Amino acid sequence: MRLHALLNFIPFLSLVLAQSKEDVKCRCLYGEPCWPTEQDFTSLTSHLSQPLLRPVPPASACYPINSPSGNCSDAQSHRRDSIWRADQPGAYENINFESHLFQNGSISACYLNTTLGIPCEQGNVPPIGVDARTVEDVQAAVKFAGQHNLRLVVKNTGHDYLGRSSGRNAFMIWTHRLKNITYNAEFIPEGGSKDNAIFGLTVGAGVQWHEAYDVAAQNNRFVVGGISASGSVGAAGGWIMGGGHSAFSPKFGLGVDNAVEFTIVKPNGDYAVANSHHNQDLFWALRGGGAGSWGVVISVTYKTHDLLPMILSVLNVTFPTLDAATSVATELVGLFPKLSDLGWGGYGALSNTSLLMGFMSPNVSWADVNSTILPFFDFAVNATQDPNALATTIPFANPYELINPSDDAGLQNAQEVGGLVELASRLLSRNAAEQRAEETARLLLSFDFVGINFVAGGAVGLAEPDSVALNPGWRKAVAHVYTSGNWEEGTSAETIKEIQRGVARHVRALDPISPDSTTYMNEASLYEPDFKKSFFGDHYDKLRAIKQIYDPNSLFVVAEGVASDEWDDTLTCPR
């Protein structure tokens, strides 16, 4: 009898298991029968402050069948304009993330270059979305996506280098118009007391750094933020949740070290405050646990700093020989630990033919420059014997004169955006810089080009590694180093895949500079051999557990984000 019962039980068990697997459904995509009806959308709209968005790739204006009223020359002339791109719900800053490359080699895209003769398609631009202006808008959108099991995408400025703000046939929440900014010289985190008061700057989810800088400057305060031509990166989206670096981080810490409070619409649609008094686990996760994984952030409050004068020192040299390049690059790498500890940061571009490096720090004197930076500049000028070498130092009354100029017409042409690009990167560890400077320099020079974000060390290294979710490897780093793969519109799928394999090889090749394979998730590759380790280090398991509490169904899932490995490559079906 017993045996008989057992035999019956086994098929039953298989049935139960098969059913429970079926219960974990794939996300519903636009075009599928499960997609909400017009009536469902009408009912959603009745809870929204704005009409629904129908985002389209910006180049669709050049294909009148799709968009009869479009202005093609407008789209083409703003290709490299990061502010313009951020203002379009269907535009992305790196335009490859507007298109979709299928496994079978087909590409769905809409190219600005109409002479290619390729028809315009929607690609990875979500076809429908919510133009969120209020907390209630976001709540209605999140609940709607949850109820209909939609593939959900949160888009802010569209700067993401891993395409995490686009998604084929997904439903979009556009946070760009959540533009509130308030400065409060006595900001008290909710639940805290007067003793916790700070000079706080609260920025809404759609605020961009140039706007945050304007308000901070009006109040004579400095806020650590993203630095790019036009200041178009979001101040309360991917930047902060991924870590948030700045050349001023060696002096004042990373974004995550300066954030004191978040407000958020959680995956269940509830609005909440996360700070050191409320939802501490979520507060921890939001500081480096990666964007797009925890709900929709509504605002972030940053601690601000005294506005201080600053100095910029720039070196621009060309290398006559590989030996000269090696000796200059070795000297540079070896200098990062000491300089960062003195509060210097900066940005650079290095290849076997040239180095362009800008160092900057607030609150330093000419004497400081003479004793720290100038010896290196002298060394480089002598080693290269470059007659056109540029080695110059410029003081600024405050950092905004440099990073947020009121007339940024020149910066518009910086060509930082509008390309088709993927990155490969690693954080440069202090240990490699100190102990293996020459080996590191030789490795960096083996790439066509490396970008150097000198944004770690100093104050970044002093923060308690477990105080925030950010990969603890950041605390042992002195810089972030990246290289890229680039292509043009119209490139064949075969060639793109070849370039992508090259990016994957670059990731592995950079490993020696970061013994723990640590990197900055916001400027990284889609082909990380182990993204959990590289992006989150030993904080991953705790993050996964926190996600289970707030988002048990993984409504919020992004490429190489927490729990993303439990989904297929298009983040549509559970594995």
Ligand X SMILES: Cc1cc2nc3c(=O)[nH]c(=O)nc-3n(C[C@H](O)[C@H](O)[C@H](O)COP(=O)(O)OP(=O)(O)OC[C@H]3O[C@@H](n4cnc5c(N)ncnc54)[C@H](O)[C@@H]3O)c2cc1C
The nearer residue to ligand X, 237 or 346, going by C-beta atoms, is 237
The site partner of 155 among ligand NAG, ligand X, none (C-beta below 5 to 8 Å per kind) is: ligand X
Among 7, 16, 18, 322, binds ligand NAG (CB under 6 A): 322
Q: Of 205, 319, 192, nearest to 260 (Cα)?
A: 192
| Residue 574 burial (CB count, 10 A) | 12
| 158 contacts ligand X (rule: CB under 6 A) | yes
| Residue 373 burial (CB count, 10 A) | 25
* Coil/strand/helix, residue 439: helix
How far is Cα 128 from Cα 41, in angstroms, rounded to an integer? Answer: 10
The site partner of 12 among ligand X, ligand NAG, none (C-beta below 5 to 8 Å per kind) is: none
**At closest approach, how far in Å is the CB of 12 from ligand NAG?**
37
| 316 contacts ligand NAG (rule: CB under 6 A) | yes
**At closest approach, how far in Å is the CB of 366 from ligand NAG?**
4
| 417 contacts ligand X (rule: CB under 6 A) | yes
The site partner of 363 among ligand NAG, ligand X, none (C-beta below 5 to 8 Å per kind) is: ligand NAG
The site partner of 116 among ligand NAG, ligand X, none (C-beta below 5 to 8 Å per kind) is: ligand NAG
| Residue 105 burial (CB count, 10 A) | 11
- Number of residues forming the site for ligand NAG (CB under 6 A): 32
Q: Are 426 and 444 in contact (CB under 8 A)?
A: no
Strands 354-362 and 198-204: unpaired
| 395 contacts ligand NAG (rule: CB under 6 A) | no
How far is Cα 19 from Cα 23, in angstroms, rounded to an integer? Answer: 6
| 205 contacts ligand X (rule: CB under 6 A) | yes
The nearer residue to ligand X, 229 or 443, going by C-beta atoms, is 229
Among 27, 78, 100, 159, binds ligand X (CB under 6 A): 159
Q: Where are the beta strands (DSSP E) in 304-368?
A: 305-306, 310-318, 345-350, 354-362
Rounded alpha-carbon distances, angstroms, from residue 548 to 21, 26, 30, 405, 481: 18, 18, 27, 44, 33
Q: Of 182, 125, 144, nearest to 37 (Cα)?
A: 144
| 392 contacts ligand NAG (rule: CB under 6 A) | no
The residue number with the shortest CB distance to ligand NAG is 74
State the sign of the Cα–Cα–Cα–Cα dihedral 443, 445, 450, 453: positive
| 558 contacts ligand X (rule: CB under 6 A) | yes
Residue 313 corresponds to which tokens in the numbers above?
Answer: 């020192």
Among 19, 20, 69, 115, binds ligand NAG (CB under 6 A): 115
Q: Which stretch binds ligand X (CB under 6 A): 288-296, 390-398, 530-538, 567-575?
A: 288-296
Q: Which residues in the 243-272 window bind ligand X by CB under 6 A?
A: 244-245
Q: Of 293, 295, 296, 27, nearest to 151 (Cα)?
A: 27
Q: Please give the single-letter amino acid code of residue 343.
A: G
Return the residue matching tokens 């590409």.
107
Rounded alpha-carbon distances, angstroms, from residue 469 to 291, 299, 553, 562: 12, 18, 21, 12
As beta bridge partners, residue 255 has: none
Look up residue 558 and give its DSSP letter: -
The nearer residue to ligand NAG, 10 or 367, going by C-beta atoms, is 367
State the sign of the Cα–Cα–Cα–Cα dihedral 32, 37, 42, 44: negative
The nearer residue to ligand NAG, 61 or 469, going by C-beta atoms, is 61
**At closest approach, how far in Å is the CB of 215 from ligand NAG?**
13
| Residue 202 burial (CB count, 10 A) | 21
Rounded alpha-carbon distances, angstroms, from residue 478 to 41, 53, 335, 459, 542: 49, 43, 10, 10, 26
The site partner of 417 among ligand NAG, ligand X, none (C-beta below 5 to 8 Å per kind) is: ligand X
* Coil/strand/helix, residue 200: strand
Q: Where are the beta strands (DSSP E) in 376-469?
A: 390-396, 420-429, 450-454
Contacts of 130 (CB under 8 A, 6+ apart): 44, 48, 50, 52, 53, 137, 138, 140, 141, 172, 173, 174
Q: Which stretch binds ligand X (CB under 6 A): 25-33, 150-158, 185-193, 356-364?
A: 150-158
The nearer residue to ligand X, 207 or 369, going by C-beta atoms, is 207
| 77 contacts ligand NAG (rule: CB under 6 A) | yes
The nearer residue to ligand X, 126 or 343, going by C-beta atoms, is 126
| 572 contacts ligand NAG (rule: CB under 6 A) | no
Q: Which residues in the 227-256 window bind ligand NAG by CB under 6 A?
A: none
| 366 contacts ligand NAG (rule: CB under 6 A) | yes
Among 14, 42, 106, 548, binds ligand NAG (CB under 6 A): 106
Q: Which stretch binds ligand X (CB under 6 A): 11-19, 160-168, 372-380, 425-433?
A: 160-168
The nearer residue to ligand X, 59 or 460, going by C-beta atoms, is 460
**At closest approach, how far in Å is the CB of 276 from ligand NAG?**
21
Strands 259-265 and 296-303: antiparallel
The nearer residue to ligand NAG, 180 or 220, going by C-beta atoms, is 180
Q: Please give the single-letter amino acid code of residue 438.
A: E
Among 42, 382, 413, 435, binds ligand NAG (CB under 6 A): 382
| 202 contacts ligand NAG (rule: CB under 6 A) | no
Tell me which residues touch ligand NAG (CB under 6 A).
Answer: 71, 73-74, 77, 102, 104, 106, 113, 115-116, 134-135, 178, 180, 204, 298, 306, 316, 318, 322, 352, 356, 363, 366-367, 370, 382-383, 388, 390, 448, 490
Tell me which residues touch ligand X (CB under 6 A).
Answer: 93, 154-161, 164-165, 175, 205, 226-228, 233-234, 237-239, 242, 244-245, 291-292, 296-297, 416-417, 522-523, 558
